[in-house]
Amino acid sequence: MPLLPIIKLPDPVLRQVSTPVETYDGDLKRLVANMFETMYEAPGIGLAAIQVNVPKRLLVLDVADEDEGKQPLVLINPKIVDLGSEMKVYEEGCLSLPDVRLDIERPASLTVSYLDLDGKPQELTTGGLLATAIQHEIDHLDGKLIIDFLTRLKRDMIVRRFKKQARVM
């Protein structure tokens, strides 16, 4: 299966709002398989379809440690239906922002409703790293990135750095 190129800042595609998945066919299953392979190879713990230039509300995740074995999770058209009141800070990275790591505060737990690969409705209540990763990836579906948690000044500094890098490569 081919690895998919991951879109990086400052590509404006990352700011696009993704639209719902409506067709559950072989193409979707192939895309998901390729997204998992791309994510594991990177390596990363989450990848949204928009990061591989597919503007659909689809994301793949696996936050398991190496010794736990693989725990792949596919969320299609995910919607957060409940956020816990307790907050937690994780240092987050993003495959679209290489070498950027930011402390981000988000609700520590959540309930998300979504469709699985067969289009069947599912619901998941979780906390810890998975809750953070789900919020991070759903942000991608709305064109939001971790640098949006920064002040404008700091955000612009990072964007400028990526623009400069994009020019020299």
Catalytic residues: 137
Which one, 32 or 145, has the nearer CB to Ni ion?
145
Which one, 63 or 119, has the nearer CB to Ni ion?
63
Looking at 16-24, 72-80, 91-99, 125-133, which segment touches Ni ion (CB under 5 A)? Answer: 91-99
Looking at 30-38, 75-83, 92-100, 102-110, which segment touches Ni ion (CB under 5 A)? Answer: 92-100
101: how many CB neighbours lie within 10 A of its CB? 11
Side chain identity, residue 1: M
Which one, 24 or 42, has the nearer CB to Ni ion?
42
Q: How far is the CB of 69 from Ni ion (least distance, A)?
A: 24
Q: How far is the CB of 159 from Ni ion (least distance, A)?
A: 15
Position 60 contacts Ni ion (CB under 5 A):
no
168: how many CB neighbours lie within 10 A of its CB? 5
- Mind spelling out the 3-state secondary structure of the chain? CCCCCCCCCCCHHHHCCCECCCCCCHHHHHHHHHHHHHHHHCCCCEEEHHHHCCCECEEEECCCCHHHCCCCEEEEEEEEEEECCCEEEEEECCCCCCCCCEEEEEECEEEEEEECCCCCEEEEEEEHHHHHHHHHHHHHHCCCCHHHHCCHHHHHHHHHHHHHHHHHC
Which one, 54 or 119, has the nearer CB to Ni ion?
54
Binds Ni ion by CB under 5 A, chosen from 21, 94, 112, 158: 94
Looking at 56-64, 93-101, 103-111, 118-126, which segment touches Ni ion (CB under 5 A)? Answer: 93-101
Q: How far is the CB of 121 from Ni ion (least distance, A)?
A: 25
Residues forming the site for Ni ion (CB under 5 A): 94
